[in-house]
Structure 1
């Protein structure tokens, strides 16, 4: 007896809920003035950051991810048991293995979900979003949880003023589901990587190249190392190029967008990209002043800010954009259906 498989009807994926979480402890620029040679004016002028949230000792990435996931599911009004796939975008996993997604699955109490981690630094969330969308669009899954979460304070040297002023801790989660009739959801994306940029932003210790030893710890190889000027120049150029490519491919201009939600790495990078796209300031979401750069969590956190402030409405055309270590680059076009 032969088995006849019915062809799956192609569907589109949409974001059906958003949830976020940041730890309660706040580190202000005034606090940093007491720790390193810096000042509030210098930090604000160069980055746009005024404060960031940090975890307490013993709080891990999976803890933040679970809180964001619970918030997301509560807003959607469903139980965790309905989730089929969990994708966690992070560069600060609880441990090298198992995947943080496994720890999240256990803490959420999801009985039969599968999942994995995705490492693309600050582009982790949009990359994971597209992977999750394809699982929905294939017809194989109906509820995919995509989480961007990082505890950057665990890999930051708080005696290095070039990095410690930038990063914060946080998490954001979205639920992906099939579009209903008449809905559009995720439309298009443009992703690329440039591995030549690896030398400009990395954490050199702890992997197979430089396994953890007393020497790697003494040399501070387990902290983020960054060539700020190289990263800035690449980010300004590539965030603009990626956004323009995805808009041009869909016959759109910046003025057609209801909302631009970029990765929150630097206020000047965001404003430069928005200006090049011809976007009015009220359509550009910037919340870096209160969270800093939370790496994979910045875009969902910015989505929450946009919703909270009434600047993201059902039916809006939305553009997401990111540049991260790797280098990684991403831009995503979608119709907001939530």
Structure 2
């Protein structure tokens, strides 16, 4: 069988580092202000006004190029992108990213339904696309979270309790057919019954593309948050445990658990459910906020750079998306960074 490896990962955070005070002094009390889902991180990063998702991916990819050479990316046969807020309606960022990075891949895919779990989702897609491929065949996966500095800084939205939670950032992964840093397994589950529960709303109501007053933002209610908390608490441990059982490793024996970074409560509950101590569960929430799909690659890149993972360690990536319509996990035996 073809062995796929996660050879390296790199990330990018915008220069504009924003403290919680930037929100606190304009915050208005709303019905969700005391909810544990919206306890603000200390900091987050915001994209610049003229900074695009393609810019972010190019800047994240610089780390891969520096360590492996430009050909590691330009020779890749697959490019898969997840962009939280596409710069242009109707068109994903994949084609422009390929052009910017000098790639001519056979496959360019822009995916959306993976949400915060897009990183393991993209790995699973690459695994299928490169089944039977020749050794050395490469793929690039990339996630850009760019709505914090755009959607959540609107004058009215900024006053809402939800506004201080997201941050912007991007991550890029380099995969190849080899046994250098092998993917041990993937697990993903779709929960179609929850699709559509995450909504984008305006007041007064209108479609997001229609002209009118009222700023668009994610629609939350107390009852919906209770459901999302219950699903997230359940789904991430479920997919991680299922994958652990398949690869023959107890969750408590994982060397590193890397999850998406939605809030402190989820992070605590997930590591307790999987019996992983805090020192083996990297946490970027207070520096970066909720990075959505970029949370896993950014957090793992930081962990590697800080020396928290060594060659041969078994790393579990696990996350859930949106209001719980998707969850995914990937395990890798880390081969080390050059």
Aligning the two structures, in what range does the TM-score lie when normalised by the shorter sequence?
0.7 to 0.9
- Counterpart for residue 333 of structure 1: 331
Structure 2: segments with no counterpart, 5+ residues = none
Structure 1: segments with no counterpart, 5+ residues = 1-9
1:254 aligns with 2:251: yes
Aligned partners of 1:264 and 1:12: how far apart in 2?
Answer: 29
Pairing partner for 2:83 from 73, 81, 90:
90
How many Å apart are 1:204 and its aligned residue?
A: 5.5
- Two-structure CA RMSD over aligned residues (Å): 2.5
Secondary structure (helix, strand or coil) at the match of 2:17 reads strand
Judged with a 3 Å threshold, the aligned counterparts in structure 2 of structure 1 residues 43 and 274 are, in CA distance, closer, same or farther, namely same
- Counterpart for residue 123 of structure 2: 129
How many Å apart are 1:309 and its aligned residue?
A: 1.7
How many Å apart are 1:45 and its aligned residue?
A: 9.3
- Counterpart for residue 21 of structure 2: 30
Judged with a 3 Å threshold, the aligned counterparts in structure 2 of structure 1 residues 90 and 102 are, in CA distance, closer, same or farther, namely same
1:200-256 C-alpha deviation (Å, 9 max, x unpaired): 423368xxx9461124xx354x42223433322211111122211111223321232
**TM-score, L = length of structure 1:** 0.86
How many Å apart are 1:42 and its aligned residue?
A: 6.8
- Counterpart for residue 283 of structure 1: 280
Normalized per residue, the structure richer in helix is: 1
Alignment of 1:123-272 (within 5 A): 123-139=117-133, 142-153=137-148, 154-156=150-152, 158-159=157-158, 161-180=160-179, 183=180, 185-203=182-200, 210=207, 212-215=209-212, 218-220=213-215, 222-226=216-220, 227-272=224-269
1:99-140 C-alpha deviation (Å, 9 max, x unpaired): 201111122222455412111211112111211233333316
Aligned partners of 2:282 and 2:44: how far apart in 1?
Answer: 17
Say if 1:17 and 1:73, in contact at 8 Å, map to a contact too.
no
How many Å apart are 1:43 and its aligned residue?
A: 9.2
Pairing partner for 2:2 from 11, 18, 21:
11
**Misfit runs of 4+, over 4 Å:** 41-48
Aligned partners of 2:6 and 2:208: how far apart in 1?
Answer: 39
- Counterpart for residue 274 of structure 1: 271
Aligned partners of 1:184 and 1:308: how far apart in 2?
Answer: 17
- Counterpart for residue 52 of structure 2: 60
Judged with a 3 Å threshold, the aligned counterparts in structure 2 of structure 1 residues 193 and 61 are, in CA distance, closer, same or farther, namely same
- Counterpart for residue 4 of structure 1: none
**TM-score, L = length of structure 2:** 0.86
Judged with a 3 Å threshold, the aligned counterparts in structure 2 of structure 1 residues 111 and 190 are, in CA distance, closer, same or farther, namely closer
Say if 1:12 and 1:184, in contact at 8 Å, map to a contact too.
no
